[in-house]
C-alpha cells in the first residue's frame, strides 16, 4: 500500500531507476538524493520521504546499493548510499527498458 | 537466494534496522528544517512544519519493514508469537497434545534407529550391496547353506562371467598358546583374494598374497580385537609369532576395528593352503584339493557391475547343470551342484528379522497415525470453544488462508515440541531395546546418525501436517456470523470428522492387537515346546582338552572326560553329569546312513540326512532323556561299533520296529564303513532349536577334544559355576573352559528374536490401545457435555437417568464397534504378511481374533463408561438455565 505514495506523475518502478541514476556520480545521503532529484527535474519531481526511504530499503535488500554511516557536510551523522556493481548493471538494464517504453509511448502519441 | 538470506538476516537484526531508519529520517527532517529556516521561517515553525511533512513516516517505516522481511515472513513471525501465547493459555491441551505426539514420534524414531542399524547401514566393505554368498543347496532334501569343493568353485570362478571374482574360506577353532592365558578362538582359512574382494585394507601391516598362499607361508592376519587382547594394540606385534594349536604363524597384519568376516567370532585369517597343517592326517587334507566330494569351502563373490543377483543365479544354475552331467556322483552325502545366491546383508541379518523389522516399523507408523488422530480430535474439540475467537478474526478481515496459516503455525509449534521430546525419548528407548535384545545381529551398533536425524525431522513434520491440516481447514471455514452469535455451539460438521477419526483409530489398534496377539501366541507356543528333556537346573560347560597327539591320546581324552563327570557328580548339589559333542547344534545334518536289510531308497533325493554326536556314558541319565528301549553305553565301550539312536531315527529307518540289535552303516549302500549295532533307543531332543522338528540322530560312544559337560543340579546351577571350574582345572590343568551357560539361557538366546518381536509389537499395540481409549473417552466426554441441555430436557420430560446413561453409552460404543469390525477385516488381510514369523499359529487364528475383539470392546466400554456416567448426573434445572 505504501508504495502508492509515489507522486502520481511517476511511472511505477521509475523511482528506483531515478535513485540509482543519482548515485552514479558518487555517494549521497537520503536528503541529498531527494534534493538532487528535485533540482535535476527542475522541481517537477518532488519525491516524498515516505516513498524515498522504503525505496532505498528495497534497493538495499536487492543488493543494488550499499549504505554506510558517515559524516555529512556539516558534520552530522548521515547514511550514505553507493551504487554496487549489481546496481550499475540494474541501472543499465532499467534505463534501456525505460527508453524502450517511453519511445513506444511517444510513437503511439505521434501516430495515433 | 542471497535475497532470502538477507531477509532472514534483517529479521534477526530488526531492532538495529529500525534504529538506523529512525536516525536517518531524523537527519532528513533536520536538514529539511534548516532549509525552511533559510527560507525565512523561524526555528520553531520550521521544526513543526518539517515534522508535519514527515508525519507519514510511520507508514514509511511499516513499508520498509515489509520490504526487509516480506509479507509472508512477517505474518509467520506474528503467528509464532501469537501461537506461543495461545498455547500458554491452554497449557493442558498443549501438554496432552505434545505428550501424545511425542509417544508416536519416539516409537517411530526408535524403531527406525534399529532398522537403520540392522538393515540400512551398509556393511563395512566396499560396495557391500554387490557381495553375495554362494551356497550349495538341495531344497528337495531341505539342505541349504552347504559348502563346496575347491574344484567346483574353481569351475564357478572360471565360467561365471556375471561374478567378477569369488573368494573362499572355512572356519576352524584353535587354541592360542604361548604368551598369556591359553584360549580357544575361531579363525578362518581364507583365499588370498578375500580381502581385496571385500575391499578392506588392513589397519597395520598387510594381508597375505596369492604367492604366499601358493607357497604355504605360515602367516596370519589378526582381528582388531585379538590384537588388542593379546598384544595390547602394539605395532611391534607385526613379525611376532601367534601360536595356534602349536603351529607358529607369523603376524603380518591387523584388520581395522569393526571388520568381521564372516562373523564377529572369527579372530584371525591365514592362507587357505595351510589346511593340511590343521589336519591330523595331512595326506587326506592334501587329496581333498582334488576331490569334488570334499565340500569344505564357503564362497563369497562380487557381482559384476550392473548385474542383478538373479542374472548371476541363472548363470550359476546353468553351470551347475553342466557340472552335474560331467561329474555325476552317487554318494548320498554329496550335496550336489545346485546353488543359492544370498546377498551378504540378508545372510547377516536373516530373512525373518527383516520381515519382523519392517512389520514393526509399519506398526509404529500405525501408532503415530493413532496419535495424530487423537491430537486432531483434541484440536477439533478445543476448536469448538475457539470458534468465537476465529470468527472475530475473520470478521476483522483475516482471510481463510491467513487463519489456516495461523492454526497451522500453532500446530507446528506443537509438532516441533513433540519432535524434540520424542527424539530425546527415542534415544532412551533405543538403549533399552539394545540392552534387552543383545543376540540380534548388528543391534549393538545402533546409534543416531544423520539418516536417523533426517527421519526424525521428517516424521515430526509429517505428523504436524497430519494432525494439523484437517482441523485447521475445518475450523477456519466457518461463517463468521454463526460464530459471533451469543451462545452458539456448533460441533456438527466437526463431529462427523471426529467420529471418523475415532473409528480409524480403533481399526488400526485392532490390527496391531491381532498382530501382537499372533506373535505372542507363537512365542508362548515355542516356549512350551518340550525340548525332550528337563531344561531346568542344567549347567553346560564347554571344555576343550588340548591333549598332545600321541598313540594314546584318544584314550586319554575319554578317560579325562570320564574323570570330569565322576568328579563333578561328587560335588554337593550335583545330581548327574555327562558329556556330548555339543548340546545344541546349528549345523545342517550331513550324514547319510544305510540300514541293514532295508530297501535302499530309489534315488538319493528321498534319502534323509542324519545327525550324529559323540557322548559319554552318563550323558542321557544326566540330561534326563528317557531310554525307550535297549540300554545306555558303559564306561568300557569307547569307540565300540555300537550306537544309541533317537526315536525319529528308529521310526524313519526301522519303520517303527524295535531297532535294538539291528545294524546300520554310515554312507550309501556301497560304503566300506563298518556296520554299527543299535544298542538303545532314546527320546527325541530338540538340539536344533525349539522351532524345527527333531532330526534323526545317532550317538556314538566316543569323545572329541571339545565337549559340552552337562551338569544337572538340585538348585540354581549358576551357583555351581566356580566349583565346576575348579573341578575341571584340578582334574586337567590345561583344560580350557570356553563357555558356561545354563540350558535356560541357551533357550533364551534361541528365542531372543521372537521375544524381541513379540514384546515390541505388544508394547506398540498397548500404546495404541491406550491412545485410542483416550480418543474414545474424549469424544464421548465431549458429546455428553455438548448435549447437557438436551439430557436435562429429556430428564425434565420424564426420562430416567438410566435411560440417559444407556443413550450416552450406546452412542459412544457405536464408534469402537464399527472400528473393531473394520480392524478385524484389515487384520485378516494383513496378518498374511507375518506368516513367516508365526509358529504353529495360522495368520487367521480364530482364538486370537476373538480374544482381541473381546479385549478391545472391554477397553472401549470402560472408556465410554466414565464419561457416560456424567450424562446421568445432569441436573435438569442447571442444564436448562445454562444461558
Interface of B with A (CB under 8 A): 2-3, 6-7, 10, 20-21, 23-25, 27-28, 30-32, 53-54, 56-57, 59-60, 62-64, 66-68
Q: Find chain A residues with C-beta within 8 A of B62's C-beta.
A: 2
Please judge whether B62 and A2 are an interchain contact, meaning their C-beta atoms are less than 8 angstroms apart. yes
B501 CB-side CA count, 13 A: 31
Put simply, the answer to whether B62 touches A31 (Cβ < 8 Å) is no
Residue B32 C-alpha cell reads as 529539511
Q: Do B56 and A76 touch (CB under 8 A)?
A: no
The reported pLDDT for the residue numbered B37 is 86
Look-up of cell digits 523389522: B357
Which whole number is the average pLDDT over A84-100?
A: 90
Q: Which of B67, B68, B397 has the most A C-beta neighbours within 10 Å, making it the best mutation to test the interface with A?
A: B67
> Is the Cβ pair B28, A76 closer than 8 Å?
no
Contacts of B60 in chain A (CB under 8 A): 2, 5, 49-51, 53-54
Helix/strand/coil for B446? coil
Dig out the grid coordinates for B854 from the structure.
473381546
- For A3, the closest chain B residue by CA position comes to B63
Q: Say whether A63 and B2 touch across the interface (CB within 8 A).
A: yes
Q: Half-sphere exposure of residue B635, counting CA atoms within 13 Å on the CB side?
A: 8
Q: Judge contact between B586 and B689, C-beta under 8 A.
A: yes
What is the DSSP annotation of B205-271? E-PPPHHHHHTT--EEEE-HHHHHHHHTT-GGGTTSEEEETTEEEEEEEEPPTT--SS-TTEEEEEE
* C-alpha closest to that of A93 among A38, A16, A31, A29: A16
Please report the pLDDT score of residue B280 as a whole number: 64
Of A54, A72, A76, the CB nearest to B60: A54
**DSSP annotation string for B748-804:** HHHTHHHHHHHHHHHHHHHHHHHHHHHHHHHHHHHHHHHTHHHHHHHHHTT--HHHH
* A79/B28 Cβ within 8 A: no
Q: Structure pTM?
A: 0.72
Do B67 and A58 lie within an 8 Å CB cutoff? yes
Q: Are residues A50 and B60, on separate chains, in Cβ contact within 8 Å?
A: yes
Number of domains in chain A: 1
Contact across the interface for B54 and A49, Cβ inside 8 Å:
yes
Quick check: A3 pLDDT over 50? Answer: no
Which chain B residues touch A3 with a CB distance below 8 Å? 63
Smallest CA-to-CA distance from B94 within B505, B524, B414 is with B414
Whether B21 and A54 lie within 8 Å, measured CB to CB: no
Minimal Cβ distance to A53: which of B3, B53, B64: B64
Domain that residue A85 falls in: 2-111
Residue ranges of chain B whose pLDDT lies below 70 = 1-2, 53-60, 69-74, 279-281, 384-385, 437-439, 477-494, 590, 599-607, 879-883
Residues of chain B contacting residue A68, judged by C-beta atoms under 8 Å apart: none
Interchain pair A58, B10: CB under 8 A: no
Instruction: Of B56, B863, B3, B312, give the one whose Cα is nearest residue A58.
Output: B3
Which of B754, B784, B763, B154 is closest to B491 using CA atoms?
B784
Which member of B24, B32, B63 has the closest CB to residue A2? Answer: B63
Which residues of chain A does B10 touch, with a Cβ-Cβ cutoff of 8 Å?
A: 61
Q: List the single residue in A with minimal CA-CA distance to B9.
A: A61
CA distance B400 to B480: 11
Angle CA B825–B360–B449, to nearest 5 = 150
Q: How do A77-83 and B219-222 pair as beta strands?
A: unpaired
The answer to whether residues B649 and B697 touch, using CB atoms and an 8 Å cutoff, is: yes
Q: Pick A31's closest partner by Cβ from B6, B27, B53.
A: B27
Does B57 sit within 8 Å of A50, measured CB to CB?
A: yes
CB A21 within 8 A of CB A37: no
At A10-62, the pLDDT tens digits run: 666 788 888 999 999 888 888 888 888 888 888 887 777 778 888 888 888 88
pLDDT band (50, 70, 90) for residue A1: very low
B27:A54 CB<8 A:
no
CA distance linking residue A67 with residue A49, whole number of Å: 17
Half-sphere exposure of B109 (CA within 13 A, CB side): 35
What CATH code is carried by the domain that includes residue A63? 1.10.10.10
Amino acid at each position: 500500500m505504501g508504495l502508492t505514495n509515489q507522486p502520481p506523475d511517476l511511472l511505477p518502478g521509475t523511482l528506483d531507476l531515478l535513485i540509482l541514476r543519482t548515485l552514479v556520480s558518487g555517494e549521497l545521503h537520503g536528503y541529498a538524493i531527494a534534493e538532487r532529484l528535485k533540482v535535476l527535474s527542475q522541481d517537477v519531481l518532488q519525491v516524498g520521504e515516505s516513498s524515498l526511504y522504503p525505496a532505498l530499503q528495497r534497493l538495499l535488500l536487492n543488493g543494488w546499493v550499499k549504505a554506510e554511516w558517515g559524516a555529512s557536510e556539516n558534520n552530522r551523522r548521515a547514511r550514505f548510499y553507493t551504487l554496487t556493481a549489481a546496481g550499475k548493471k540494474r541501472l543499465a538494464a532499467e534505463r534501456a527498458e525505460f527508453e524502450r517504453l517511453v519511445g513506444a509511448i511517444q510513437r503511439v502519441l505521434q501516430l495515433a | 537466494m542471497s535475497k532470502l538470506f538477507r531477509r532472514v538476516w534483517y529479521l534477526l537484526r530488526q531492532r538495529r534496522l529500525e534504529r538506523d531508519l529512525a536516525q536517518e529520517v531524523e537527519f532528513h527532517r533536520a536538514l529539511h528544517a534548516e532549509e525552511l529556516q533559510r527560507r525565512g521561517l523561524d526555528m520553531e515553525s520550521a521544526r513543526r512544519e518539517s515534522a508535519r511533512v514527515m508525519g507519514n513516516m510511520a507508514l514509511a517505516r511499516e513499508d520498509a519493514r515489509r520490504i526487509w522481511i516480506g509479507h509472508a515472513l512477517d505474518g509467520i513471525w506474528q503467528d509464532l508469537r501469537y501461537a506461543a501465547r495461545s498455547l500458554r493459555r491452554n497449557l493442558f491441551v498443549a501438554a496432552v497434545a505434545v505428550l501424545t505426539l511425542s509417544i508416536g514420534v519416539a516409537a517411530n524414531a526408535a524403531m527406525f534407529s534399529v532398522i537403520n542399524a540392522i538393515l540400512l547401514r551398509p556393511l563395512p566393505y566396499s560396495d557391500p550391496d554387490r557381495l553375495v554368498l554362494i551356497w550349495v543347496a538341495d531344497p528337495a532334501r531341505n539342505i541349504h547353506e552347504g559348502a563346496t569343493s575347491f574344484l567346483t568353485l574353481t569351475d564357478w570362478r572360471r565360467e561365471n562371467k556375471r561374478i567378477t571374482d569369488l573368494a573362499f574360506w572355512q572356519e576352524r577353532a584353535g587354541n592360542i598358546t604361548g604368551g598369556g592365558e591359553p584360549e580357544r578362538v575361531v579363525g578362518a582359512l581364507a583365499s588370498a583374494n578375500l580381502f581385496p574382494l571385500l575391499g578392506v585394507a588392513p589397519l597395520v601391516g598387510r594381508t597375505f598374497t596369492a604367492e604366499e598362499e601358493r607357497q604355504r607361508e605360515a602367516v596370519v592376519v589378526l582381528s582388531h580385537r585379538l590384537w588388542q587382547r593379546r598384544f595390547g594394540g602394539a605395532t611391534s606385534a607385526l613379525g611376532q609369532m601367534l601360536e595356534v594349536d602349536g603351529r607358529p604363524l607369523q603376524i603380518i597384519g591387523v584388520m581395522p576395528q569393526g571388520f568381521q568376516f564372516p562373523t564377529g567370532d572369527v579372530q584371525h585369517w591365514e592362507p587357505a593352503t595351510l589346511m593340511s597343517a590343521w589336519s591330523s592326517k595331512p595326506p587326506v587334507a592334501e587329496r581333498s584339493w582334488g576331490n569334488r566330494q570334499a565340500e569344505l569351502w564357503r564362497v563369497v563373490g562380487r557381482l559384476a557391475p550392473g548385474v542383478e543377483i538373479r542374472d548371476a543365479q541363472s548363470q550359476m544354475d546353468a553351470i551347475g547343470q553342466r557340472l552335474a552331467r560331467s561329474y555325476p556322483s552317487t554318494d548320498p552325502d554329496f550335496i550336489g551342484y545346485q546353488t543359492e545366491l544370498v546377498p551378504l546383508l540378508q545372510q547377516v541379518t536373516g530373512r525373518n528379522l527383516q520381515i519382523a523389522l519392517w512389520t514393526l516399523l509399519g506398526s509404529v507408523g500405525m501408532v503415530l497415525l493413532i496419535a495424530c488422530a487423537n491430537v486432531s480430535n483434541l484440536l477439533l474439540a478445543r476448536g469448538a470453544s475457539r470458534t468465537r475467537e476465529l470468527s472475530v478474526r475473520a470478521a476483522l478481515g483475516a482471510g481463510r488462508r491467513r487463519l489456516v496459516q495461523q492454526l497451522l503455525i500453532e500446530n507446528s509449534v506443537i509438532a516441533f515440541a513433540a519432535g524434540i521430546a520424542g527424539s530425546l525419548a527415542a534415544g532412551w528407548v533405543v538403549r533399552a531395546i539394545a540392552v534387552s535384545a543383545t543376540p540380534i545381529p548388528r543391534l549393538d551398533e545402533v546409534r543416531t546418525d544423520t539418516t536417523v536425524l533426517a527421519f526424525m525431522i521428517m516424521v515430526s513434520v509429517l505428523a504436524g501436517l497430519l494432525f494439523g491440516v484437517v482441523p485447521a481447514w475445518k475450523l477456519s471455514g466457518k461463517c463468521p456470523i454463526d460464530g459471533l452469535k451469543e451462545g452458539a455451539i456448533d460441533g456438527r460438521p466437526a463431529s462427523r470428522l471426529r467420529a471418523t477419526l475415532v473409528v480409524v483409530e480403533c481399526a488400526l489398534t485392532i490390527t496391531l492387537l491381532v498382530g501382537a496377539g499372533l506373535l505372542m501366541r507363537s512365542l508362548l507356543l515355542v516356549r512350551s515346546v518340550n525340548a525332550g528333556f528337563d531344561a531346568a537346573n542344567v549347567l553346560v560347560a564347554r571344555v576343550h582338552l588340548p591333549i598332545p597327539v600321541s598313540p594314546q591320546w584318544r584314550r586319554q581324552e575319554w578317560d579325562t572326560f570320564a574323570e570330569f563327570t565322576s568328579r563333578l557328580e561328587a560335588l554337593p548339589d550335583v545330581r548327574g553329569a555327562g558329556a556330548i559333542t555339543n548340546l545344541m547344534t546349528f549345523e545342517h545334518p550331513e550324514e547319510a546312513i544305510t540300514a541293514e536289510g532295508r530297501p535302499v531308497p530309489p534315488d538319493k533325493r528321498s534319502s534323509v540326512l542324519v545327525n550324529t554326536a559323540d557322548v559319554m556314558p552318563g550323558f542321557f541319565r544326566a540330561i534326563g532323556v528317557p531310554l525307550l528301549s535297549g540300554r545306555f553305553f558303559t564306561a568300557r565301550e569307547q569307540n565300540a561299533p555300537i550306537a544309541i539312536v533317537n526315536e525319529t531315527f528308529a521310526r524313519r529307518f526301522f519303520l517303527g520296529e524295535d531297532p535294538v540289535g539291528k545294524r546300520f552303516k554310515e554312507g550309501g549302500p556301497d560304503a566300506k564303513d563298518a556296520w554299527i549295532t543299535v544298542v538303545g533307543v532314546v527320546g527325541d531332543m530338540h538340539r536344533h532349536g525349539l522351532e524345527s522338528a527333531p532330526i534323526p540322530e545317532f550317538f556314538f560312544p566316543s569323545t572329541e577334544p571339545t565337549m559340552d559337560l552337562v551338569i544337572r543340579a538340585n538348585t540354581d546351577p549358576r551357583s555351581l559355576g566356580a566349583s565346576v571350574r575348579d573341578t575341571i582345572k584340578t582334574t586337567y590343568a590345561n583344560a580350557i573352559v570356553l563357555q558356561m551357560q545354563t540350558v535356560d539361557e541357551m533357550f533364551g538366546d534361541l528365542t531372543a528374536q521372537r521375544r524381541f518381536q513379540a514384546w515390541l509389537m505388544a508394547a506398540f499395540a498397548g500404546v495404541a490401545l491406550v491412545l485410542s481409549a483416550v480418543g474414545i473417552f474424549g469424544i464421548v466426554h465431549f458429546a455428553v457435555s455438548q448435549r447437557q441441555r438436551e439430557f436435562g430436557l429429556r430428564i425434565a420430560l420424564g426420562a430416567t437417568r438410566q435411560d440417559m446413561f444407556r443413550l450416552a453409552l450406546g452412542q459412544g460404543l457405536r464408534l469402537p464397534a464399527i472400528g473393531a469390525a473394520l480392524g478385524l477385516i484389515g487384520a485378516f488381510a494383513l496378518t498374511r504378511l507375518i506368516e513367516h514369523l508365526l509358529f504353529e499359529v495360522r495368520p487367521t487364528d480364530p482364538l486370537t481374533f476373538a480374544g482381541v475383539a473381546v479385549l478391545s470392546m472391554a477397553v472401549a466400554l470402560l472408556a465410554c463408561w466414565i464419561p457416560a456416567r456424567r450424562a446421568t448426573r445432569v441436573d435438569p434445572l442447571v442444564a436448562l438455565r445454562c444461558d
